[in-house]
Every structure is written in C-alpha cells, then in structure tokens.
C-alpha cells in the first residue's frame, strides 16, 4: 500500500471499531491487529488512537454538515426546507450508520478536550455533533424569524424555537437509529407534520396554565 492507501485503511478500520466499541473501548493494539499492521504504523500516521478518532469524527461532521446545509440553502418554502433538512439527517443515519453512532455516543461537548495516549496531555476537540446542531439551529433561526415575525412573535423567540425544532429532529434521528420500523420518508413526514402544523397554532404570548409554573412548593 502507498502511505495514503494505508491511512485510508486505518481510517476505515478505526471508524468501524469506534462505532462498535466506542473510543474508550478501542485500543491501538486492536486497530493495528485489525488492519494487519504494527502499532508503530498507527502512531506514524495519527500519533495514536485519539488522533485517528479525531480524523474520523471530523470527516463525519463534514459529511453531515454539508448534507444539512445544502438542504437548508436550497430554493423552496420554509416547510420544504425543513422537510429536506430532516430527510438529509435521516438519509445520513441510514447510509452512514457507523458514523452517526460515533457522533452521538463519543463526540465530546464543544470546548472540551480529548485525551491523548499520554493521559497527562490533552488536545483540543475538533468539530462535535453538539456544535453541528448549534450551527444548524442558527440557520433554522434565520428561516423561522421571518415566519414568526409575520405572526407577531417577538424577535427574541426565534432562537428558542430554532433550538426546539432542531432538538426534536435530532432526538428523533437518534431514536430511529435503532428503531427502523418506519421508512425515513415516513419519519420525516411525521416530524414535519408535528413541527409545521404545531407552528400554525402557536400563540405569540403563551402562558402556563398553572400560574405558579412549578416555582412554588406545596406547603
């Protein structure tokens, strides 16, 4: 193999093992043995397990970001764009299941640090699933702001509804990762049904039916 071919082989091996066992449950020895190489080869290309993991996560984040961004930046009504974004996530889950398992299980929170082979050192974490959702929410906020504004909603509520919408789609995607009883088109249709038809009945200035709002304790 050329150096590049060997690197790609190790990325594929690492991706499979990380999806199956998680980054903590995977060792350099196992990566090397599965690839049919010695441990120094892994260190030579990636500096260790965490370096390989960072490359795998970065590639998955880029692939998912591109798919969702392309969906949200295409032409169409707000509802059509939400439908396409939901479908983009579900399509990624269906065709890149290992990648999605890695992102939702092991990817650290934004701003955290990933441990290296030497536990005394840390390296900054790269892109994460949480940071991806934050970026998507910012794009969705832009789509919702005009729609909510026309309905008399305060501008400050747009980020809140964007977070709720993206969170709903993300959690449904994680549920569908292992519960494949419905095709992705049907899941996306139900997602948008709740999101869009729920939006049509929203009140600009909602109040809790319980005036205490949970803020008082029973005596």
- Tell me the pLDDT tens digit for each residue of 140-157: 998 888 888 888 889 899
Does 3-108+125-201 carry CATH code 1.10.357.10? Answer: yes
Residue 181: both structure tokens together: 């009883």
pTM: 0.79
pLDDT at 215: 54
pLDDT at 121: 32
What span, in angstroms and rounded, lies between the C-alpha atoms of 148 and 120? 50
Q: Which of 10, 5, 20 is nearest to 42 (CA)?
A: 10
pLDDT at 205: 84
Residue 130: both structure tokens together: 């949480």
For 21, 40, 46, 142, 170, the CA distances from 27, given in Å and listed in that order, are 10, 13, 14, 43, 30
What span, in angstroms and rounded, lies between the C-alpha atoms of 211 and 160? 21
- Tell me the pLDDT tens digit for each residue of 107-152: 544 433 344 333 333 333 446 899 899 999 999 998 888 888 888 8
Domain boundaries, the chain: 3-108+125-201
CB 117 within 8 A of CB 49: yes
Where b means 16+ CB within 10 Å and e means fewer, 74-98 reads eeeeeeebbbbbbbbbbbbbeebeb
How many CA atoms lie less than 13 Å away from 14 in the CB half-sphere? 28
For the chain, which ranges sit under pLDDT 70? Answer: 106-127, 211-219
Q: Report angle CA 112, 129, 193 to the nearest 5 degrees.
A: 145
pLDDT at 203: 81
């Amino acid at each position: 193999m050329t150096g590049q071919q060997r690197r790609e082989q190790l990325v594929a091996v690492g991706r499979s093992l990380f999806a199956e066992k998680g980054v903590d449950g995977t060792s350099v020895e196992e990566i090397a043995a599965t690839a049919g190489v010695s441990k120094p080869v892994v260190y030579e290309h990636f500096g260790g397990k965490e370096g390989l993991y960072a490359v795998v996560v970065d590639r998955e984040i880029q692939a998912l970001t591109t798919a969702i961004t392309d969906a949200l930046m295409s032409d169409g009504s707000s509802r059509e764009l939400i439908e396409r974004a939901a479908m983009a996530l579900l399509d990624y889950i269906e065709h890149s299941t290992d990648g999605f398992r890695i992102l939702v299980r092991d990817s650290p929170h934004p701003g955290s640090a990933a441990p290296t082979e030497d536990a005394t050192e840390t390296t900054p974490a790269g892109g994460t699933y949480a940071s991806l959702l934050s970026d998507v929410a910012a794009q969705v906020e832009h789509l919702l702001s005009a729609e909510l504004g026309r309905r008399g909603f305060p501008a400050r509520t747009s980020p809140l509804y964007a977070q709720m919408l993206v969170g709903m789609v993300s959690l449904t995607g994680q549920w569908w990762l292992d519960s494949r009883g419905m095709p992705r088109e049907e899941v996306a249709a139900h997602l948008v049904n709740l999101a869009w038809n729920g939006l049509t009945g929203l009140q600009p200035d909602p109040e809790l039916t319980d005036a205490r709002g949970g803020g008082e304790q029973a005596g």
